[in-house]
């Protein structure tokens, strides 16, 4: 039986800012945009969360909820440096580390380097090392699989340590609200509740065929996980699946010239990041958020790999022109992402989109 730990740093960006700048300590703090911008909250300190401020909330709303909240721009280089230090601590105990982001990761400690043997003790030591060496706190969830460990790490934040052992897993899953299940967003949760499915126990009463009929391929996952079955391994060398650059504008874009100018900046920045990461991709996606908050995406896959800004800009521009011709609504956000990576460039053929 596997021993899985999920480590999740507490209010990571905000906590790093409060650690590095004493004047922020004990005060409601938002890392993200400014109250007069179209930006959103990247992370809110726990002092800010007491006012109802949450990640992904518009900064303007955060300012209304807490007029005295402090806004600071993100320092991603600083957060990345701290993330590397955290992973160095993880490596003292195991090489089976699957980072999910800068501030969270799965660890498989079924066999640990130090021969400690007990996942709870390992998690406790990791938390102590993070606190003593980096002056930050983390929450840890421990269980027999990734899904339950991740849920457990969120149960007693901040500075939590939660163990859900083998004998408790199935009962725990039965009592879990459906909105806590992987892949269950607001729309799916609402659908489930309309069907009188409120907890894992309710899902468990349905057959696998019923769940697939109602929820597609995710139904198979629900059927297994509510029974405590999650065979996904911790993947130490999890490959980056995509890379994206986007920008939210202080004023909605109305004219095509302004839109194309912003797209050019985004494509240039994305190309720079691809080259820095020594990656080439062949699937490019344009992301558009309108002034009324509707979001659309348009994707195209090339027959070869590239990191060229002009090529990705050509794809994005053609999609943009088509979208705007069909829907001239002002635009508040544009973004370009690339996926389907390969390090080996192939011979380009003529670019044809349509």
Q: Structure pTM?
A: 0.69
104 is catalytic: yes
CA distance 55 to 45: 10
- Write the CA distances from 239 to 87, 89, 99, 104, 189, integer angstroms: 17, 21, 10, 16, 30
Radius of gyration of the chain (CA): 23
Helices (H), the chain: 12-20, 46-49, 59-65, 76-90, 119-134, 146-153, 166-175, 186-194, 200-204, 208-215, 218-225, 256-276, 309-326
pLDDT for the residue numbered 239: 59
CA distance 57 to 62: 7
Check if the beta carbon of residue 299 is closer than 8 Å to that of residue 250.
Answer: no
4, two tokens: 């899985």
In this prediction, residue 24 carries a pLDDT of 96
**Per-residue pLDDT tens digits of the chain, which is 354 residues long:** 899 999 999 999 999 999 999 999 999 999 987 787 667 888 999 999 999 999 888 888 999 999 999 999 989 889 989 999 999 999 999 999 998 888 999 999 999 999 999 999 999 999 999 999 999 999 999 999 999 999 999 999 999 999 999 999 999 999 999 988 876 878 888 999 999 999 999 999 999 999 999 988 888 889 998 998 888 899 886 556 788 999 988 889 999 999 999 999 999 999 988 888 778 888 999 999 998 888 899 998 887 888 889 889 999 999 999 999 888 889 999 999 998 886 443 334 333 333
Catalytic residue, chosen from 104, 246, 261, 262, is: 104
Tokens describing residue 298: 């348009």
- The DSSP code sequence of 11-65 is SHHHHHHHHH-GGGTTS-EEEES-TTSS-BEEEE-HHHHTTT--TT-BHHHHHHH
DSSP H or E segment with residue 279? none
Which pair of structure tokens corresponds to residue 327? 């829907």
Q: Which of 131, 136, 137 is nearest to 159 (CA)?
A: 137
**Strands 4-9 and 104-108: what pairing?**
antiparallel
CA–CA separation, 108 and 95 (whole Å): 8
Q: What pLDDT does 71 receive?
A: 94
């Amino acid at each position: 039986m596997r021993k899985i730990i999920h480590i999740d740093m507490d209010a990571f960006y905000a906590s790093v800012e409060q650690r590095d700048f004493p004047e922020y300590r004990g005060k409601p703090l938002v890392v993200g945009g400014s109250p007069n911008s179209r930006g959103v909250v990247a992370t809110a300190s726990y002092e800010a969360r007491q006012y109802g401020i949450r990640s992904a909330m518009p900064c303007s709303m955060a300012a209304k909820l807490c007029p005295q909240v402090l806004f600071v721009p993100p320092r991603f280089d600083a957060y990345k440096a701290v993330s590397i230090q955290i992973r160095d601590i993880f490596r003292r105990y195991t090489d089976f580390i699957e980072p999910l982001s800068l501030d969270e990761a799965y660890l498989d400690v079924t066999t640990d380097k130090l021969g400690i043997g007990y996942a709870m003790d390992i998690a406790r030591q990791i938390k102590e090392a993070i606190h003593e060496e980096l002056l930050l706190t983390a929450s840890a969830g421990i269980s027999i699989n990734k899904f339950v460990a991740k849920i457990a790490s969120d149960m007693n934040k901040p500075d939590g340590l939660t163990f859900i052992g083998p004998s408790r897993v199935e009962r725990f899953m039965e009592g879990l609200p459906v909105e806590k299940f992987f892949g269950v967003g607001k729309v799916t949760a609402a659908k489930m509740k309309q069907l009188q499915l409120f907890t894992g126990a309710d899902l468990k009463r349905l057959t696998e065929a019923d769940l697939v009929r109602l929820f597609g391929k995710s139904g198979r996952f629900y059927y297994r996980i509510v029974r405590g079955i999650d065979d996904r391994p911790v993947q130490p060398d999890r490959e980056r699946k995509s890379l994206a650059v986007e920008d939210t504008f202080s004023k909605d874009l109305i004219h095509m010239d302004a839109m194309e100018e912003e797209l050019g900046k985004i494509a240039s920045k994305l190309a720079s990041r691809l080259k820095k990461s020594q990656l080439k991709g062949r699937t490019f996606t344009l992301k558009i958020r309108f002034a009324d908050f509707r979001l659309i995406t348009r994707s195209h896959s090339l027959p070869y790999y590239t990191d060229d800004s002009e090529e990705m800009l050509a794809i994005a521009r053609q999609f943009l022109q088509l979208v705007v011709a069909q829907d001239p609504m002002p635009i508040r956000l544009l973004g370009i992402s690339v996926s389907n990576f390969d390090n080996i460039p192939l011979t380009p053929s003529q670019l044809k989109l349509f």
